[in-house]
Each structure stands twice: as C-alpha cells, then as structure tokens.
Structure 1
Amino acid sequence: MATHNYKVFSCFNRKFTVTEPEPPPDVQKAFSEFSQGASSMSADHLLRFLAEHQGEVDCTVSDSEQILQQSRKEDGETGFDLHYFFHFLQDSDLNVPLKSQVHHDMNAPISHYFIYTGHNSYLTGNQLSSDCSDVPIIKALQRGVRVIELDLWPNSDKDDIDVVHGRTLTTPVSLLQCLKSIKEYAFVKSQYPLVITLEDHLTPDLQAKVAKMASQVFGELLYYPQTDSLTEFPSPESLKGRILISTKPPKEFLESSEKESADEVSSLRENANEQRTDNESAPEYKRLITIHAGKPKGEIQDELKAAGKVRRLSLSEQALEKASESYGADIVRFTHNNILRVYPKGTRLTSSNYKPHIGWTYGAQMVAFNMQGHGKSLWYMQGMFRSNGGCGYVKKPDFLIQKGPHDEVFDPKIALPVKQTLKVKVYLGKGWSLDFSPSDFDSYSPPDFYVKICIVGVPADMVKKKTSVISNNWFPVWNEEFDFPLTVPELALLRIEVREEDKHQKDDFGGQTCLPVSELKSGFRSVPLYDEKGDKYKSVKLLMRFQFR
C-alpha cells in the first residue's frame, strides 16, 4: 500500500491511499470452479481452465507447468493460490489477448492479403518541409511494415538519385543510404517479403543506375521475376526473406511525366530522347519489376475490367471513394487477383491519415499510410496488423477473394444479418501509477478514469460505448460488460481507449489499443495499452474478458 500527496493552493496537502484491487468476483468464481474448491490450483487444474474457459485447446500439461514455473519462479512453489492466479491473468506476456504466431495460410498469391503499407516512408514529418531520412524507414520496418515507398528524383547535378518529396521544401536523402538501411532492417520484425514501391521521376540512365545500385546492395535478397507477364502473383511463403520492386515499367516514364511541370518535362524529354524510351530503355531496371504499377490513364471502369497480366493500380482515397459509388463490385473483382494501392489525398499536408476501412472493405491490399502521423486512423492500421503474429500480411476473408454462386461479390454497403456477437467485459486497470507521475492527470487528486470501447468496421457494425467514471483512483475497477452484434466480424476492430475525465478542459489521454476481432482469444485477458504514437507502455494494462456467441 502506498500514498500520494497532492498540494492544494500551496497551503495544505491531500493524502490518497493507493491500493491494488482484489480479484473480481468472476475471477474468484473461476478459480473456485477449476481448482475444485481447493486453495491451490495444480498444473492439471490450470490446463483444464486454459482449455475450457480460455479456449486454449492446444495447450498441454507441459504448457501449464511452464506457466506455473514462470509465475512462481521467485518462491519455487508448484501451484497457484488465488493471488497468483489473479497475478497470472494480469500478465500481458503470459495471458495475451491475441494469437502471437503466424497462423494464416501463407501459400496463396500476395493479392489475397492485406499488406502493411507505408506512404512516403522517408519523411520525418509533414509533407512540405520536413527532412527526408532513412530513420522513419527503419522505424517502419521495426514495426513490421512490409511496403516501403521511395520517391526518386535526379539530384541537382542530374548524375545521381535523391529520395525526396518533389517540388517541396523537404531536404533529400540519398537513395544508397535508404537501400542500405532497408537491407539491414528488412527482416528484423517479419520474414515475409518486403515490397519497395518506387515513384520514379528519372531518365533511363538514372533508372539503370537504380537497378545497378539495388542489385549491388540487396544481392541475393532481391527477387527477379521469371517473366514480366505474371498471370498470378507468387505467395508470401515462397518469397520469405526476399525484396520485391514495384513501379511503372520504363516505357511508361514519359507518359506519366506528362503530368509534371512543362519545364521539367521538356528537359526530361530531351535527355530521354537521347537515350531512347521504348521497351528497350533501361532493361536492367525493367528486369527488377515484380509488381507492375500504374495509375488510371482513362476511365476507371476500363482499368478495373482490363484483363491480362496481374498488376498494381494506385488510387487516392478520394478517387477510391468516388469510384466505389458506381463501380464497387468492379473494384472488389479487380482485387481478387490484382493489387490495389490506396494513398492519402494531396491535401494531407500534416501527414494525417484517412480511415483504412475505405480500402479494406473493397479488398485493397496496400492501404498506404503516413507512419509518422498520429491519431485514430493510424491506431486502426496498427490494430489490423497485430493480426497473424504481426508479420505484416493478413489473409483477406474468403468473401473478398471469391465470387458467389451467381458471380456476385461482396458489397460493404449492403446491411447483412448479425453473424456473431462479441461480449466485452472491462474489469479493472493498472500501471498508471508506475508509468506516470502523480500529477500527470490532475494536480490536486488521483485520476478519474473511464474506458471508451468502439467497433470499427463496415458501417452497420460501427458503435461506441463507454464505462462509468471511477473517481480518484490509480487502480480503477469497473466490472462493466457490453455486447457488440457484428455483421462482418472478419473486418471488425475493437478500439479501446482510456481517458481521464477533466471537467474544465479536454479529457486527458490514458492509453489505447486496437484489436482485430477475428483474432481475439476468449476468456480473461490482460490487454496492454499503447501511447498516442503506438508505443507500448511498460505497465499500463486492462483486465478484460472476451466471449463470442
């Protein structure tokens, strides 16, 4: 037991006792049931609890024994009393809310997966004046991002390549430095393939230089496609430990350049005409391209229906929303075999993000985000890719891959019947007294916490709920339960946010997490919370229960 003192008006102190809560009645009941009324829970008792209450049907006696050993390694005892059982349930290393291993089928074409995708991965801040660096690339790779975007431009002397956000005040970083950092960190978080998308504004001689540079830096890590006319993409499993390039083929260089400023295009045309820009231009560069990319050149419906080799199509968030109004079914059909990349609209100058479900509900594999941005949209992205062991590839639901018996495809705008109900109970929270100072939330008293619980997914499933406010307590106990009927649980995310009530200003932030509903483990779970940037707190967590019916 500890106390916190708060000074009020500089003349007297308010003293508050900090006391950790007792096990909730549900926990006490479960302990009594599975220990068969005994005062201690054996390995066999714990195994039965894990299988029947927690749904851990694959656990063995060896697993339960190991849990007992890890939980009681200090005193060497072999069983759980109620205290240690409660402590185990709050351990976010031993009692995790999500499956921690890769468990999706990884042998399908990569077009059958949502892929953790970055936008302008080299920017450290805003889109207009921030520095370009390999540091945000490294951070993204450490988080498990599997698609890195680089914008390539000629340097001031036109003899080398810079990575920079063109026609802005951003300062460049060298391509070579970026490639070296990518090689070093590409597979620190995930062994599944890394895709580098190139937005190149280069002449053929510099494209050839890029090809040589990439080949030398990546060596055998670089994947060379066997043909430039793929009818199906390879699988993540077959590409483990490999780096893929996705960009426009060289012959499309001048076509895409027509959207650039007149002066620059004139200069680039002169250089390109001297070095030829037909299909034989920069053959070394063309040979690197596994995922051929492009933006719509004509009517979007024509691009979506075009048959032939598989490819990647890029649309802005606005273009996708507009196209989905009239051609939603065509978009979904396109993403059965091809890759759709969605990127932020150009007015997001502060590196903010959009709602990723705009893309996911239509099967878009690469929903590109500004990873240096912050806010709820990025929390959704981080939550989705906690799926499948955090490997950066999440298998799309079957309804986004397959056609129905009458050639129909999934339509996110159609309200479907409830498929599953998620029951969420919030018991208690702890850790703020360790990760925050006594006055971080309130200068004169302990914090007043409450929990916001939301479902993010298809429109029919979106709902917000919250607990009551627990006043003046570092260890709040709520014991409140909520039901969430879900029509498309496969695309639903459970967003959890703790706030501290402030009656005079905006409520303070106390932690958040976002969890994919389809990956949730049932039973009592310790749910660690993250700060606004997505970094995990050392101690802050909630004890919750998840049930499905």
Structure 2
Amino acid sequence: MRTFTSNSLFEISLEEESEKVPRTAHIRFLRCKDLPQMDSNGKADPYIVCYGKVGKTRFDRFQSPVIPETLNPDWTDGYSDEDMTAQIKLQTGCSIVIEVWDEDIGFLSRTLERDDFVGKVVISDEDLKKNINQFDTDAIEDTNLNFVDSISMSNTRISDSNKGKRVISYTKSIHKRTNTGPARGTIEFELYIFSEAVQQGANDMFTKIVGKDKGSLSGGIPLKHLQEKLQKIGILLDEAQVEKEFAVIDDGDKTLQEKELREFLKRINVRDVIRDVFKEYMSEEKYMKPDDFLNFWEKFQFEEMLEEDRRSLFKRYGVHSHGKNEILCFDGFQKIMLSRSNAIEKPRAMKLPLSLDSPFSHYQINASHNTYLEGRQALTYASTSGYSSALELGCRCLELDVWDGSSEPVIKHGNMSASCTLRSVCKVILEYAFTPDKPRYPVILSLEIHCKKKGKDAMAKIFAKVFQKHLVTREEMYRNPNSMTPSHWMDRILLKAKDKDDSELAKLITIPAVKFVNWGYHKSQSTPNQCTSFDESRAATLCTNSYPEFTGFNSRQLSRIYPSATRVDSSNFNPVGYWAAGCSLVALNFQTRDDFMLLNHGNFTRHQGCGYILKPDYKLNGDDTTLKKVAQQNYELETQVLDGWNIKSPNLDFTRETCISVSIFSPFLPVQTKITQKSGSQTNPVFNETFKFEVMNIEDSFILFKAFNGENLHSYFSFPISQLRQGYRTVHLRCPKTNKHMLSNLFVKFSVREKKDVLQALQTLEQDNFQLRLRVTELEQRLAQLEARLGPQ
C-alpha cells in the first residue's frame, strides 16, 4: 500500500488548479464560395489551414480535408465536426490566421508556399481581447486588421435565439494582392470561445459568471441570458435542462438573483453518482468526519493518507466546523473526487523526471515517421507544418528525407512528390523545438540522405548556420565519455545518419546509424548513441522469437522501428509490443489520429510531455527471469464507467447520443474493446456499466477511453495500466487533435487483481486438504492398531 507525503500527492493539483483558466477558440469551417481558378481545368482543389500566431511563432495548426475540382467547396456535406473544427489555445498577443490553399501535387507543381496560396484572414489579438465574450460585428469591420495580403472582410452575424446558442457565423471576403484588388471569394466559419478548466465548482462558476462586481447582478439574470453566460465559461447544457433547473429556483420574477444563481449553479454541478458514493461512507449525520474520510481513502482508494494531507484537502475543498471537530460535506467531497488530486494517473508519472542522466538507450523517446508528410505516403507533398505540429505534440525525434534540389537540398518523399527546402524545415524546427512553455530536452533528427557530395556539403552548412550553438558535433559528443545522456544536451539538436566518410556532414553526426549483425556482436560493440533501424515486420519477429535478446540489445543501443512500406495510407502499427521490448524510437505517422497515435500521445503525456521515459530496471540490467515473469503474469482488470461530464461538441448539437468505449492494448495480443450503451443526448450522461478484462503483461499494457458524440470522437484518455490508481477516480479527457485537456471527464471505479493469487490460493488449499487427508489416514491407522492391542472389550 502506497503512502504519499503531502508534496507527492498534491503538488500537481495545487499548481494546476491555481492557474488562471485558459481559453480555447473553436473555429468550425463551413464553406468557401467563388474561389479563383487555380488549375488548368478552370477549377481548384481547395483546403483550409488555420493556426494561432504570436510574433513569428505558429502553433495549434489545423488543416481541413481537400475537396477536389471545385470553386465552391462545402465541408458541411460529408465531413464531421472533428474534421472541420480548429482548436487554438489563446495566448497573450495571439492572433488567429485562416488561410485558403489550392492543392497541386502534379509533376509540374509549383512551389506550395507561393503559387498555391489563395488568400488569408487574420483575427488579431486586439479583436480577440475586445470580443472575448461576444464578437461585435462592427468592431471587427472597423478594425485595421494585420493582413499579409490585402483582404477585406464583410461579416454577417447569424444567431438562433430560439435554441439559445451563442453561435456567431462569419462570411469573410478574400482578396489576393493585385493592382485592382478584385474579390477572390469568401470563407464562412463559426467561432466559439471556451474555458479549459478541468472541473469548476459552483462557487468558481459564480465568480466567472458575475466577476468581481456583484453589482452586475442588479436586476437579476433572465433565462435567455443565462445559457449564454454558461457557455462563456465552458458549461454546455441543453436548453431543456437549463429551463428545468431555472423553473425550480426562480421565485417568480423570471430572473435569478445572487442567492438563486448560486443555488442554480450548485444544482447543475451535482454528480449523482458521486453523491451515492458519499452517502455510502458518510456518518449518520450526513457528513464525513476525518476518520470516515481516511477510512474511505484507505479501503476504497487503496492508498494511505497522512493526517497532514487530510488536513490540506479539508482546508482546500471546504471544511465545516461541527463543535470542535472538522467535517466534510458533500460539496467538498465532490470537489476532491473531481480534482487533479484524485486523477486516475499516479502523480509520480506526471512529474518531470528527477534527472535524465542515464544513457540515451535507457529511454523511450517520442518519435515521428516521415514527419514532413501531412497525408498519404504516395503522391503527396512535403510541408514544414508537419514538424511544427509534431514538436507541439511532444515529439523529440523527427525524420528528414533530404534530396538534391535545383539550388539547395530539399525535403520530399521520393521523386513523386512536391518538396520544401531543408533550410525552411530547419528554421521551423529551431522555432518550435525549445519553446519556454515546455521541457527543453534534446531533439534528434533522423536523416535519410539521398544527396551527392555537393548536396551533403550544403546540408552541413545549413545545419551549422541555422542551428548554430544548438547543434551537437561529433567532436563534442566523444570528447566527454559521460556525454551520451539526454541531460548533457538540453536545448541541443543531435543528427542521426550514416557517418562512414570524413565529410563536413559526417562531423555533425552524433547518433551513427549501424546495421544489425548478430546478438553477440552488438553485446560487445554497441554504444548508447548508436541506432539500428528495423521495419515493423522485422522488429515483430525479433520481439516474438528473441524477446530477451532483443530487450538486452535495446538496453545497450538505440533501435528505431518504422512503419512498413505497404502503409501508403499513413496508418500506424500498434506500438505497445515494441515498447515492451524496450525499443527506444518507435516512429509513428503523427498526421494520422488513429487509436495507435492516441496510445502514443497518452504514453508520452507522462513527465509533463518531455518526450523521454526511463525504462524499468529489469529491462536494463539483463534480468531475464523477471522479464519472462512479467510477460506471463495474468491479471483481471475491472472498470466501472459511472458517468461523464460535459461530453458535447463545441457546436452545441444536443441531438447526438453519447457512448464510451474502453479498450485494452497488450503486447502482440488482440485488442479488447467494450462499449457502453448510448446514453441519450444529455450533456452529463450516466452509464453505470462495468467491464472486465483479462490482461497479460500488465506492466506493458495500455488502456484507452474514447468518448463519442454520435459517430464523432469527442475526446479520449490513454495511459499505461501500471501507472493508474485504483478506486473511484476521475479520468480527465483530452482533445484528440491537440492532446490538450478539455472541460470533460469521466468518473470511474477502477480495480486490478492478479489472477495468479487465486490460483495459488486454490493450490495451497488443495495441498492443505491433501495433508489433512494424510493425517486423518495416519490417525485412523494408529487407532486401528490400538484397538487391535486392546482386543474386544
């Protein structure tokens, strides 16, 4: 049973929950009209790109699907909200940029960054500040927007007061820079702004609605304004639910005064399933005493709690005095259960590692395959945005396929694709690799070099000029025998490639690529910075047939696993088996948001997303006995999905039913998936469904929760099962696009038990029974002997 000190249990929650609640802009793109002719057939192949921008830094890039051969693309026909909604986390000085592009991937295609550009709309930081609560059409029209091209805007506000939605739609004209400045079409989209708080209590919601000045409540809040105010703070309730609760609270004047508003917020914030838990363990007097709470935490949360931690929780989440004793009422109990202090992830897994002083080969490292691609593997184009997106998602190993260009080296996927320059890619990597808001751990660039000598020399010059002090040289790497650790190269970039010559480029290669020879050779010759690459099929064979040898190999040097060439659709393989074998660089297609990419995101959200995870000791010290034992252990996992909170799409479509899927991923075993019944269209669905799974090798297995609105994936959570906490826990859901927390969660009950314990108990019982029968037989024999001696009585 784990014992937590106050720091280990609450450090994360106190830091996170004290921060100012950030906001996210959701932009749902609908259609474009009357775009210019971009292709020889008189049509265009348009798509939309949207991103946030602070200074020169771009982030949260979104790209829509392409609709071919049209000047009037309509994305409302056949595309989901997920496909067409950008999510931009608003920052100080942030503007939102919306661009329209024409895709051209033919053999005579022009450079993507200039000729295929159609137009741009920019919503400035000042616009967002002035209109954070409700955009003012006139203010936007009159503002001198910071457009790169000459773009005029005409806005039409479309509101639906009958449904109470805060939906503001815009139709904006796009102009390209010409002498006469003719209109070049329009783009139509909807904009919403939401809070990203994990869970708000009634008092928190009151403060956010009213602000510091309670005088703003004079006259009360009428029903028609109440839902707008709820949506502003990120609470999505359907009109019927708001009307029902309003009618219960209202004293007849059709408005809510301060006391009524507080009661209203308290009612909508209640989670009935949590109240049921509270009732089960509270005292007879409808509250929890300290002993009640400590008993609950130990027996049903499977953790001991120190008295100082208990006091800290009671003080933070609402203590009521009862004579001389402290008590916890339901409101405080619910806040505790929904806080980060009660998150399903173990707190230790979410902290930064104490150090990264072990060799590179002792870590799993977040890695990308063909990072420059944004779609399929064939007949596609290279883009710098793939690198910015991957780095924003925590990737620390990027791939560059470098070819000779007309004037300097370029990045592309063979001869059948359009390219971008190596120089532009390097600039983007440097811009996004070491941002102040993220841990600044080393970035590895995996190079596939197709250049001749002149091109290689040009590569070396570009790397040195762009990366400058951030670039690690071979001489630096080998100067210090203790330098082959991540902590030694913070804020630095390392190049991985073959280094067989003495060229200027070879002098910059610090992670040499080597071919696999045999286990004996690598056992004596490997170094922690060497890397051998295997495609997924070859690596799967090694995992299956030579698991101990392959795991030992991966502890001594790096291995990179990449998708098979048959995955032309950029689908991903299941990474779990390769992580289990200790492979350090399991490279996935970051542009594909499938279940396996969600597993990767969940795995590397550990340690604040630094991109490095230390492997367990038994995979590093050659302990084959423990390795086999762990792989063969059998567990029973039970997950009870109790309810959900705020599981609705940003467009406030309350007609879609909600369901939750729970999946278990174990190394090289079929995926197990179970799905709740659909809950109807309520925002806060109650499920109360229990799922049981048998899990082999639980140390290397993962769980994946997915929340669906109708057919659309709304949010998800994935994590290693070994790093989850048992008991009643809150699962804080993430956005599948950005991997950021949403104002959505699940309340679950989670337990794990080793089935081996039951088998051992049965075996022990059988042995005891056998010994008892032997003893009875022995006593019967002695009794017969005694009777024979005594003779008949």
Cα distance in 2 between the residues matched to 1:431 and 1:528: 11
Structure 1 pair 30–176 and aligned structure 2 pair: CA distance change class (3 A): same
Report Cα offsets for 1:448-505 as digits up to 9, x if no partner. x33221211224695333334434533221223344454422211111123467xxxx
Alignment pair present for 1:131 and 2:378: no
Q: 1:437 aligns with which of 652, 668, 685?
A: 652
Which residue is 1:82 aligned to? 330
State the SS of the aligned residue for 1:428.
strand
Name the structure 2 match of 1:205: 454
User: Does the Cα contact within 8 Å between 1:195 and 1:245 map onto a contact in 2?
Assistant: yes
Whether 1:528 aligns to 2:778 is no
Q: 1:457 aligns with which of 629, 641, 666?
A: 666
User: Contact conserved, 1:152 with 1:198, CA < 8 A, in 2?
Assistant: yes
Is it true that 1:424 corresponds to 2:639 in the alignment?
yes
Counting only pairs closer than 5 Å after superposition, residues 396-411 of structure 1 correspond to structure 2 as 396-404=615-623, 410=627
**Map of 2:719 onto structure 1:** 515
What's the offset of the Cα at 1:95? 4.4
Question: What secondary structure is seen at the aligned counterpart in 1 of 2:513?
Answer: strand
Partner SS state of residue 490, structure 1? helix
Q: How does 1:469-548 map to 2 (within 5 A)?
A: 469-499=678-708, 507-533=711-737, 535-536=739-740, 538-548=742-752
For residue 564 of structure 2, give the secondary structure of its aligned residue in structure 1: coil
Distance of aligned partners of 1:495 and 1:308 in 2 relative to their CA distance in 1, 3 Å threshold: closer
**Corresponding residue of 2:363:** 113
> Is 1:352 matched with 2:571?
yes
Matches of 2:394 and 2:488, distance apart in 1 = 19
C-alpha displacement of 1:509:
3.5
TM-score by length of 1: 0.75
- SS of residue paired to 1:217: helix
Q: Residue 21 of structure 1 contacts residue 475 of structure 1 at CA under 8 Å; is this kept in 2?
A: no
Identity %: 25
Distance 1:56 1:148 in 2: 43
Residue 68 (structure 1) aligns with: 317
SS in 2 for 1:209: helix
Q: What residue ranges of structure 1 are gaps of 5+ in the alignment?
A: 6-13, 73-77, 252-278, 442-446, 502-506
In structure 2, the CA distance between the partners of 1:221 and 1:370, relative to structure 1 (3 Å rule), is same
Q: TM-score, normalised by structure 2?
A: 0.54
Structure 2 Cα separation of the partners of residues 425 and 392 of structure 1: 31
1:293 paired with 2:513, answer yes
Q: Give the SS at the match of 2:560.
A: strand
User: In structure 1, what is the equivalent of residue 415 of structure 2?
Assistant: 167
Could you say if the C-alpha distance between residues 492 and 326 of structure 1 is closer, same or farther in structure 2, counting changes exceeding 3 Å? Answer: closer
**Offset at residue 221 of structure 1 (A):** 2.0
What does 1:178-217 correspond to in 2, within 5 Å?
178-188=425-435, 189-217=438-466
Shift of 1:210: 2.2
3-state DSSP of counterpart to 2:505: helix
Name the counterpart of 2:604. 385
For residues 31-71 of structure 1, the C-alpha deviation after alignment (integer angstroms, 9 at most, x for no partner) is: 7747x6666679999899778865485874785377438x9
2:127 alignment partner in structure 1: none
Whether contact under 8 Å (1:435, 1:538) holds in the other structure is no
Q: Greater CA deviation, 117-126 or 475-484? A: 475-484
Match of 1:270 in 2: none
Q: Deviations over 1:255-303 (max 9, x none)?
A: xxxxxxxxxxxxxxxxxxxxxxxx43x1x3222222111345xx66687
Change (3 A) 1:338 1:64: same
Instruction: Decide whether aligned partners of structure 1 residues 483 and 198 sit closer, same or farther in structure 2, where only a CA change above 3 A counts.
Output: same
Q: Secondary structure at the match of 1:432?
A: coil
State the shift of 1:530 in Å.
3.7
Match of 2:720, as an amino acid? P
Q: Are the equivalent residues in 1 in contact too, given 2:366–2:396 (CA < 8 A)?
A: yes
Work out the CA distance in 2 between the residues paired with 1:393 and 1:177.
27
Distance 1:455 1:325, change over 3 A: closer
Summarize the Cα distance change of 1:500–1:138 in structure 2 as closer, same or farther, 3 Å threshold: closer
Distance 2:556 2:703 in 1: 29
Shifted more, 515-524 versus 361-370: the winner is 515-524
For residue 365 of structure 1, report the CA deviation from its aligned partner.
Answer: 0.6
Corresponding residue SS for 1:473: coil
Matches of 1:15 and 1:44, distance apart in 2:
42
Tell me which amino acid in the other structure corresponds to 1:357: V
Give yes or no for the alignment of 1:307 onto 2:525: yes
Once residues 45 and 220 of structure 1 are traced to their aligned partners in structure 2, the CA distance between those partners, rounded to angstroms, is 58
> Per the alignment, in what secondary structure is the counterpart of residue 133 of structure 1?
coil
How has the CA–CA distance of structure 1 residues 308 and 137 changed in structure 2, closer, same or farther, with 3 Å as cutoff? closer
Point out the more displaced range, 482-491 or 513-522: 482-491
Q: Does 2:470 correspond to 1:221? A: yes
Alpha-carbon displacement from aligned partner over 1:114-167 (angstroms, at most 9, x marks no partner): 11001111112222233322212111111111101111111024xx11111122
Q: Please give the per-residue CA displacement for 1:176-199, whole angstroms capped at 9, x wherever unaligned.
A: 221122112112333221111111
Specify every segment of 5 or more residues in structure 2 that has no aligned partner in the other structure, as ranges.
1-161, 165-237, 246-267, 321-325, 754-793
RMSD after superposition:
3.8
Q: Cα gap change, 1:25/1:533 in structure 2, threshold over 3 Å: closer, same or farther?
A: closer
CA separation in 1, counterparts of 2:649 and 2:375?
A: 31
Matches of 1:528 and 1:4 in 2, distance apart? 29
Contact 1:4–1:17 (Cα < 8 Å) also in 2: no
Query: Is the 2:527–2:556 Cα contact (8 Å) retained in structure 1?
Result: no
Cα distance between partner residues in 1 of 2:626 and 2:415 = 41
Are residue 248 (structure 1) and residue 498 (structure 2) matched? yes
Q: Which residue of 1 aligns with 2:539?
A: 320
Q: Which has the higher contact order (CA 8 A, sep 6+)?
A: 1
State the Cα distance separating 1:347 from its structure 2 match. Answer: 1.8
Q: What's 1:335 paired with?
A: 554
Between 318-327 and 142-151, report the one with greater CA deviation.
318-327
CA contact (8 A) 2:294 2:305 kept: no
Question: How many Å separate the matches in 2 of 1:222 and 1:44?
Answer: 57
Deviation of 1:510 (Å) = 4.1
Three-state SS of the structure 1 residue aligned to 2:632 is: coil
Deviation at 1:111, TM superposition (A): 0.6
Once the two structures are superposed, residues 358-410 of structure 1 have per-residue CA deviations (whole angstroms, 9 ceiling, x without a partner) of 42122111000110112111111112112233211111123322213xx6684
Range 40-49 or range 453-462, more displaced: 40-49
Match of 1:435, SS? coil
Q: Check the 8 A contact 1:110/1:233 in 2, yes or no.
A: no
> Equivalent residue of 2:731, what SS?
strand
| 3-state SS of paired residue (1:183) | helix
SS of the aligned residue for 2:525 comes to: coil
